[in-house]
Each structure stands twice: as C-alpha cells, then as structure tokens.
C-alpha cells in the first residue's frame, strides 16, 4: 500500500507540474501575443496621427494660415515644391509667405485640398507617406466645384516626443501647375 501511495504521489506531482508548466506556457504565449497586438495597435495609431496631421496641414493652408505651416516641420526640414527647395523652417515660412502671404487673394472663393490613395509606412519613430492631392475650387455657392490642380506628395517623417513632424517633403504637380512653379518644374516620381 505504501508503494501505491508513493507512485500515486509521483503521478500527482507530475500531473501538477504538467498543469503548472502548461499554465506558464499559456501565459508566456498570451503575453507575446499582447506585445504583438500592442505593436500593431501602435503602428495603426501612428498611421492615423500622420494622416490627421497632413489633413490639418492642408486645412490650415486652405484657411490662409501660411505662417503656421512651418510648425509641421522639423527645424532642419526640407520642402521641395516642384523642384523649388526650401531648407529649414525659416525658408519654409518664406516660401509660404510668397505663395499666399501677401494679403492679396490669388483667386476668389474657397479651395479645398482632397487627399487620397494614402500609403503610409511606419518604421519605429520614422515613417514615409505618399498621397495624391487634388485642389477643388468653389467659386460660387450656386456653381459646381471645379478641379484646380492635382499632384502627388512624398513625405519622410519623424516622431519626436510623441508627435510626428515632416523632415522631407516632395510635392509634384501633375496638372494645374501655377505660374510661379513653371521654371523649376520637372516631372518626377517618388514611388
């Protein structure tokens, strides 16, 4: 009988050990799955933040807040609009002041920039984004909207203290090229 109890105790011990091991394995697997899910959620949140930032940028531009646009860039950022290059926030501010900061409206009505076909690739605290943009002009409340311009943009971004900033931005027109860009314009592609 004593032999039976020792064998039963061994069996019980190994059964308990197996259960403990299985629970530990399950816990480790679940934790690894959570880390993977958290990383996926973080990437998704970053993508949403980048897309929101670019949309806000164009909303600010549409509202004539040209002096605020440089805040979307790092201090040493590069903005290349149809091969006209501005380096650093100060030059970027000057470029936008020349585009619409003179106080004179280049057109009457309201213009909206539509962004679509977004491709955003996140790699830790850096990202690359590609969009097609379309300028739509609304000259009269009774008239239908009309396309003003269209093109592509390619951005390189960095996350600093939880916020995304543009380090390099390349904007290329595909149609509706404004006169101020005619001399520097060359067709190009970043995708």
Q: Give the pLDDT confidence of 63-90 residue by residue, as tens digits.
A: 878 768 889 999 999 999 999 999 999 9
- Residue 139, φ and ψ in degrees, nearest 5: -85, -30
- Which phi-psi region, left, alpha or beta, contains residue 24 (left: φ > 0; alpha: ψ -120 to 50)? alpha
Q: Contact, 190 vs 130, CB < 8 A? A: yes
- pLDDT higher than 50, residue 105: no
Work out the number of other CB atoms within 10 angstroms of the CB of residue 74. Answer: 15
Instruction: Report yes or no on 187 lying in a domain.
Output: no
Q: Which domain holds residue 44?
A: 2-181
For residue 46, what is the domain's CATH number? 3.10.450.50
pTM of the model: 0.76
Number of domains in the chain: 1
**Where do runs of H (alpha helix) occur along the chain?**
2-62, 88-100
Q: Give the pLDDT confidence of 119-153 residue by residue, as tens digits.
A: 999 999 999 999 999 999 999 999 999 999 999 99
Q: Give the pLDDT confidence of 155-185 residue by residue, as tens digits.
A: 999 999 999 999 999 999 999 999 988 999 9
Chain length of the chain: 191
């Amino acid at each position: 009988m004593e032999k039976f109890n020792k064998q039963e105790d061994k069996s019980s011990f190994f059964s308990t050990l197996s259960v403990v091991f299985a629970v530990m394995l399950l816990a480790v697997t679940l934790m690894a799955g959570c880390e993977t899910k958290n990383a996926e959620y973080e990437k998704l949140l970053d993508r949403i933040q980048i897309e929101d930032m670019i949309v806000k940028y164009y909303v600010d531009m549409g509202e004539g807040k040209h002096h605020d646009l440089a805040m979307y860039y790092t201090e040493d950022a590069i903005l290349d609009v149809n091969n006209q290059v501005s380096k650093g926030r100060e030059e970027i501010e000057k470029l936008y002041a020349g585009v619409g900061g003179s106080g004179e409206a280049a057109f009457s009505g309201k213009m909206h920039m539509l962004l679509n076909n977004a491709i955003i690739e996140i790699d830790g605290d850096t990202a690359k984004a590609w969009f097609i943009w379309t300028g739509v002009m609304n000259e009269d409340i009774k008239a239908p909207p009309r396309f003003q311009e269209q093109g592509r943009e390619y951005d390189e971004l960095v996350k600093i203290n939880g916020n995304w900033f543009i380090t390099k931005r390349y904007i290329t027109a595909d149609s509706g090229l404004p006169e101020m860009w005619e001399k520097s314009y060359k067709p190009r592609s970043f995708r």
